[in-house]
Amino acid sequence: MPTGSSQVERVIANGYCIGCGACAAWPNSPFKISMSSVGLYEAVRVSPLSPELGEIIDRLCPFSNGAETEDALANALFPGADQHHPATGRFLAAYAGHVEEGSFRSDGSSGGMGTWLVNELLLTGMADAAVHVVADTTRGADRLFAYTVSTDSAEARRAAKSRYYPVTLVDALEFVRANPRRYVFVGLPCFIKAIRLTARQDPEFAKSVAMCVGLVCGHLKSTGFAECVAWQLGILPGQLYGIDFRKKLPNRPANQYGVEVQGRCDGRVVTKTAPVKQLFGCDWGMGLFKPKACDYCDDVLAETADVSIGDAWLPDYVTDGRGTNILVIRSQSILKLVEAACRSDRLTLRVISGDDVAASQSSGLAHRRQGLACRLSLTDQAGEWRPRKRVAPLSGDPRSPFVRRQQLRTTLRETSHAAFAKAKEGGNLHFFFNQLMPLAERYQDLSRTPLRRIFARFRARVRQFSGYRLR
Ligand SMILES: Cc1cc2nc3c(=O)[nH]c(=O)nc-3n(C[C@H](O)[C@H](O)[C@H](O)COP(=O)(O)OP(=O)(O)OC[C@H]3O[C@@H](n4cnc5c(N)ncnc54)[C@H](O)[C@@H]3O)c2cc1C
Ligand code: SF4
Ligand code: SF4
């Protein structure tokens, strides 16, 4: 078993690093962040780690067993947040709705609350600057997005939209340390946890954390995801300049969005759009291009953020293609800001319960609760190191579709990275399809109810033997 001497080295050696950059951004750190061969950020140790520094860094990493849990952090941060739900952690209030004013909603991935909140915090002086993710045109086709610092409204609004793409906080954290002001950080749950853990170790840095806006998170993707989608639309890897992962399509429900890519095709710069349903690899349940860390993560709702925002994947809202957010508020100052904006009709929000929030993320939660319990048990049975989680391992019948589906998700994740790297090397996207399609079909088969499985197999047999296509 490849292990290092510190907890963080164990995280890295066993493939659980998410590339957040907290370890590398610590002063005099021997860690650097680099992009792996499969398009994911990861920490690499480039010089010896002293035991003293090792102890501090073990407390900064969101996957280290030396770090505090999300529960411990949230208890310390939000003692006044008196509601609790197993899906959300502590909270004050939860809402579903959207931004009414301006073009926040149409510019955003969902209801526009992400950019509205950042903008509002800057306008009201509750924060001096925002640390969030924008399109990066400076680093070439294999680094399309990066964290940046915005100080005014126009800059802040450039950050709208979800980037299913690897990013790291390392440069931003170093910038914040060198330029102490009050920042609002936007990030995925593990990144927000890394910021909170850093703040616990560094009181000076803590003064710069004015607010944390967390994004609900299903999982992250490697650069391969964007490249694979663009390749299916005729833009080869290395020729992709920009991608909108959440293009709102007219007259379609919110969950039937599209992807828009810009790049070079046959010597011309082109823009192409397609509904995700027509693109292979966009089924989030299948989890292609997913980092290993995401299969060992139990924070879906960014439980350490002052406010978490996501999509309202609920029957009442999903039909509205303009996009609707869920909002889980833990900090009094955010609650006041949002309530005031509702009174002046700048926002339309409806109070929802913790159960409603959980229902809006049922697939992500099932994967990171029951699914995680099963994966933890399988990892333990294999005698492999893994990070400690708030979810307890639970073994299941290895022949059950549920356990086989969890195993297949791991295989799909691993195969997607390896097969896409080979497809790129050989310039042959069909190699990727040929490797993944049989696994994807098996996964779909296991996801069906027993009756549907029998019917699907019957249809396949009829097709095979009679050439007759059943509708
Ligand atoms: C990798 C990923 C997985 C997600 N999974 C889910 C999910 O399973 N369920 C769900 O309900 N919602 C999920 N979301 C959140 C969802 O896609 C929307 O971002 C959210 O609903 C906010 O939409 P909005 O219109 O309010 O925000 P917008 O106005 O579009 O603003 C989005 C904000 O998020 C920031 N941002 C975008 N990408 C990243 C990133 N990679 N890292 C850090 N900050 C980023 C932008 O800089 C901007 O500040 C995910 C987002 C990401 C990036
Ligand atoms: S997850 Fe973050 S803190 Fe942990 S090793 Fe990776 S980059 Fe460092
Ligand atoms: S699933 Fe968890 S580990 Fe993966 S990016 Fe999201 S919050 Fe981080």
Which tens digit of pLDDT belongs to each residue from 40-52?
A: 999 999 999 999 9
pLDDT tens by residue, 106-151: 999 999 999 999 999 999 999 999 999 999 988 777 899 999 999 9
What pLDDT shows up at residue 142?
Answer: 80
What pLDDT shows up at residue 1?
Answer: 36
Kindly state the average pLDDT of the residues 73-88. Answer: 97
* Partner residues linked to 83 by β-bridges: 91
Give the whole-angstrom CA distance, residue 331 versus residue 344. 21
Sequence-ordered list of residues with C-beta below 8 angstroms from that of 142, at least 6 positions apart, any chain: 35, 39, 223, 238
What pLDDT shows up at residue 115?
Answer: 98
* 119 three-class SS: helix
What pLDDT shows up at residue 138?
Answer: 81
CA 281 to chain centre: 16
Kindly state the average pLDDT of the residues 266-291. Answer: 96
Sequence-ordered list of residues with C-beta below 8 angstroms from that of 235, at least 6 positions apart, any chain: 261, 263, 264, 265, 270, 272
Give the whole-angstrom CA distance, residue 416 versus residue 219. 15
Sequence-ordered list of residues with C-beta below 8 angstroms from that of 312, at least 6 positions apart, any chain: 96, 97, 110, 111, 254, 318, 324, 325, 326, 360
Is residue 460 very low, low, confident or very high in pLDDT (cuts 50, 70, 90)? low
DSSP one-letter string for 277-304? GGSTT--TTT-TT--GGGGG---SS-TT
Kindly state the average pLDDT of the residues 187-213. Answer: 98
DSSP one-letter string for 220-257? ---HHHHHHHHHHTTPPTT-EEEEEEEEPPTTS-TTS-
DSSP one-letter string for 368-423? HTHHHHHHHHHHHHTT------SSPP----TTSHHHHHHHHHHHHHHHHHHHHHHH
What distance in angstroms lies between residue 405's CA and the mean position of ligand 2's atoms? 28
What pLDDT shows up at residue 453?
Answer: 64
For the Cβ of 217 lying below 6 angstroms from any atom of ligand 3, the answer is yes
What distance in angstroms lies between residue 216's CA and the mean position of ligand 1's atoms? 7
pLDDT tens by residue, 334-349: 999 999 999 999 999 9
pLDDT over 70 percentage in the chain: 94
* 271 three-class SS: strand
Is residue 2 very low, low, confident or very high in pLDDT (cuts 50, 70, 90)? very low
For the Cβ of 188 lying below 6 angstroms from any atom of ligand 3, the answer is yes
For the Cβ of 114 lying below 6 angstroms from any atom of ligand 1, the answer is yes
What distance in angstroms lies between residue 308's CA and the mean position of ligand 1's atoms? 10
**Of the residues 6, 14, 18, which should be mutated to test ligand 2's pocket, given the most ligand atoms within 8 Å of the CB?**
18
For the Cβ of 12 lying below 6 angstroms from any atom of ligand 3, the answer is no
What pLDDT shows up at residue 256?
Answer: 96
Which residue's alpha carbon is at the smallest distance from atom 3 of ligand 3? 294
The answer to whether residue 470 scores a pLDDT higher than 70 is: no
pLDDT over 90 percentage in the chain: 92
pLDDT tens by residue, 17-34: 999 999 999 999 999 999
Strands 129-135, 41-45: parallel, antiparallel or unpaired by DSSP?
A: unpaired
Dihedral sign (CA 288, 290, 294, 296): positive
Give the whole-angstrom CA distance, residue 176 versus residue 379. 38
For the Cβ of 19 lying below 6 angstroms from any atom of ligand 2, the answer is yes
What distance in angstroms lies between residue 420's CA and the mean position of ligand 3's atoms? 21
| Ligand 3 nearest-atom number relative to CA 218 | 1
Q: What is the mean pLDDT of the chain?
A: 94
CB atoms within 10 A of CB 84: 13
What pLDDT shows up at residue 457?
Answer: 63
Closest ligand to residue 164's CA: 1
What pLDDT shows up at residue 5?
Answer: 73
Asked if 258 and 276 touch (Cβ cutoff 8 Å), the reply is yes
pLDDT tens by residue, 366-417: 999 999 999 999 999 999 999 999 999 999 999 999 999 999 999 999 999 9
The answer to whether residue 238 scores a pLDDT higher than 70 is: yes
The answer to whether residue 471 scores a pLDDT higher than 90 is: no
**Of the residues 167, 297, 300, which should be mutated to test ligand 3's pocket, given the most ligand atoms within 8 Å of the CB?**
297
**Of the residues 103, 155, 162, 170, which should be mutated to test ligand 1's pocket, given the most ligand atoms within 8 Å of the CB?**
162
pLDDT tens by residue, 239-253: 999 999 999 999 999
What pLDDT shows up at residue 139?
Answer: 79
| Ligand 1 nearest-atom number relative to CA 159 | 47
What pLDDT shows up at residue 141?
Answer: 77
Greatest Cα pair distance, the chain, in angstroms, is 73
The answer to whether residue 451 scores a pLDDT higher than 80 is: no
Which residue's alpha carbon is at the smallest distance from atom 4 of ligand 3? 294
What pLDDT shows up at residue 3?
Answer: 43
Calculate the dihedral angle through the C-alpha atoms of 188, 194, 196, 199, rounding to the nearest 10 degrees: -140
Asked if 11 and 19 touch (Cβ cutoff 8 Å), the reply is no
Which residue's alpha carbon is at the smallest distance from atom 3 of ligand 2? 61
For the Cβ of 159 lying below 6 angstroms from any atom of ligand 2, the answer is no
pLDDT tens by residue, 163-178: 999 999 999 999 999 9
Give the whole-angstrom CA distance, residue 169 versus residue 175. 10
